[in-house]
């Protein structure tokens, strides 16, 4: 009787595994990163750190999903990631992040948990980021903290929904403030976006808001397109951001803008560029130029060089170079 029961249990377990789908994917990268006067701040963590350090990342993503007889998909994702600590030059420890769950049917997808919000999922927002570490971004002038997926540790617990029909899509997300938190810079957050693709172009508009002592908000318009070997992305937006005391931070509450591009020089090599800035005195400006060379088999060489500057301060030279492999 025990043998029959054991065999039946094993059969049921095997059937359950066969009905589900679990996949492992990710990438690794390593190389050298240079930041001019990296250790010049003289703090306990940065004093004396070399300008050039070993940079690295290992990312393992675990996806699991199952589908009902009616064609509705359910699934979840967790991620393990380890990065270097840029301020100390030391290797970081791998950690598992918070889970994200989803249910999907037709053009509707709903996610819960560690979600990426409507702005984080906005087509064209990130554009093309030169460098092994995506060192430069056309979004650098944006200072509003939107709902974003966290690859490490615990984070928010929100909900995200997207519906697509043909070339048109709408999305919305909501994230409640953490318990026992009543500062001016954290509160209930929500954002929405609409995107439309026509030919080789995609235009998208998004709005986000955080309900705090002084409401924080952001509006951004993006445009991305492909023209043969050339791909281009551009953005312009406006934001109101608080100081910790709850008053408007006029240094960064303003217009931000950026442009980035990638050009395929050959079937294996492409060059990319990014520029981002804002009209506020405290906005961060990025200017970077990089290249990617595909070695085949999911392996590529990547690098970039450029400058970063906050407001009217001095520019800092930043560069990186190394290898990345996907699995």
Q: Which two tokens stand for residue 123?
A: 């087509």
176 pLDDT more than 90? no
DSSP letters, 290-301, are EEEEEEETTEEE
Three-state DSSP at 4 gives helix
Report the run of H or E that residue 108 belongs to, with start and end: strand 108-113
Q: Residue 205 has what pLDDT?
A: 98
Output the CA torsion 309→58→26→67 (10° steps): -110
Q: How far apart are CA 261 and CA 230, in angstroms?
A: 7
Tens-place pLDDT, residues 83-120? 988 777 788 888 899 999 999 999 999 999 999 999 99
Q: Which two tokens stand for residue 72?
A: 């509705």
The more confidently predicted of residues 124 and 252 is 124
Tens-place pLDDT, residues 261-274? 999 999 999 999 99
CB atoms within 10 A of CB 49: 21
Going 271 to 299 to 31 to 63, the CA torsion angle's sign is positive
Q: Residue 159 has what pLDDT?
A: 97
Range of lowest pLDDT (132-141, 158-167, 207-216) = 207-216
Q: How far apart are CA 207 and CA 320, in angstroms?
A: 34
Ranges of beta strands (E only) in 265-298 are 269-278, 284-296
Split at pLDDT 50, 70, 90, the class of 252 is confident
**Counting beta carbons within 10 angstroms of the beta carbon of residue 29, is it exposed (0 to 12), middle (13 to 18) or buried (19 or more)?**
buried
Tens-place pLDDT, residues 140-165? 999 998 999 999 877 788 999 999 99
- Helix intervals (H) in the chain: 2-19
- CA proximity to 217, closest of 201, 240, 249: 240
Identify whether the C-beta of residue 28 lies closer than 8 Å to the C-beta of residue 57: yes
Q: Residue 133 has what pLDDT?
A: 95
Q: Residue 46 has what pLDDT?
A: 53
Q: Which CATH superfamily is domain 34-53+107-326 in?
A: Porin (2.40.160.10)
- CA proximity to 258, closest of 288, 292, 216: 288
Q: How far apart are CA 291 and CA 287, in angstroms?
A: 14
Tens-place pLDDT, residues 124-135? 999 999 999 999
Q: Which two tokens stand for residue 320?
A: 């990186």
65 pLDDT more than 50? yes
Identify whether the C-beta of residue 161 lies closer than 8 Å to the C-beta of residue 109: yes
């Amino acid at each position: 009787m025990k043998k029959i029961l054991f065999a039946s249990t094993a059969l049921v377990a095997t059937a359950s595994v066969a009905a589900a789908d679990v996949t492992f994917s990710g990438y690794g990268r390593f190389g050298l990163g240079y930041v001019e006067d990296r250790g010049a701040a003289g703090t306990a963590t940065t004093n004396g750190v070399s300008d050039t350090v070993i940079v690295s990342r290992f990312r393992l993503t675990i996806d699991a999903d199952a589908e009902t007889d009616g064609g509705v998909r359910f699934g979840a994702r967790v991620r393990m990631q380890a990065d270097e600590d840029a301020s100390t030059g030391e290797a970081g420890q791998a950690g598992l992040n918070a889970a994200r769950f989803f249910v999907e049917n037709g053009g509707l997808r709903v996610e819960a948990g560690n979600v990426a919000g409507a702005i984080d999922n906005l087509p064209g927002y990130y554009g093309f980021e030169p460098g092994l570490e995506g060192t430069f971004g056309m979004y650098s002038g944006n200072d509003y903290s939107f709902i974003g997926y966290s690859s490490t540790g615990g984070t928010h617990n929100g909900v995200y929904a997207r519906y697509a029909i043909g070339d048109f899509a709408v999305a919305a997300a909501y994230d409640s403030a953490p318990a026992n938190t009543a500062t001016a810079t954290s509160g209930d957050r929500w954002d929405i976006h609409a995107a439309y693709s026509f030919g080789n172009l995609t235009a998208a508009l998004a709005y986000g808001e955080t309900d705090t002592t002084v409401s924080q908000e952001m509006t951004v318009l993006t445009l991305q397109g492909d023209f043969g070997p050339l791909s281009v992305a551009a953005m312009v937006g406006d934001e109101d951001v608080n100081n910790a005391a709850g008053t408007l931070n006029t240094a960064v509450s303003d217009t931000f803008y950026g442009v980035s591009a990638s050009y395929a020089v050959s079937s294996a090599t492409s060059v990319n560029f990014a520029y981002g800035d804002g009209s506020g005195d405290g906005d961060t400006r990025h200017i970077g130029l990089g290249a990617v060379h595909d070695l085949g088999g999911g392996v590529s060489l990547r690098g970039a060089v450029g400058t970063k500057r906050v407001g009217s301060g001095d520019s800092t030279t930043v560069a990186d170079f190394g290898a990345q492999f996907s699995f």
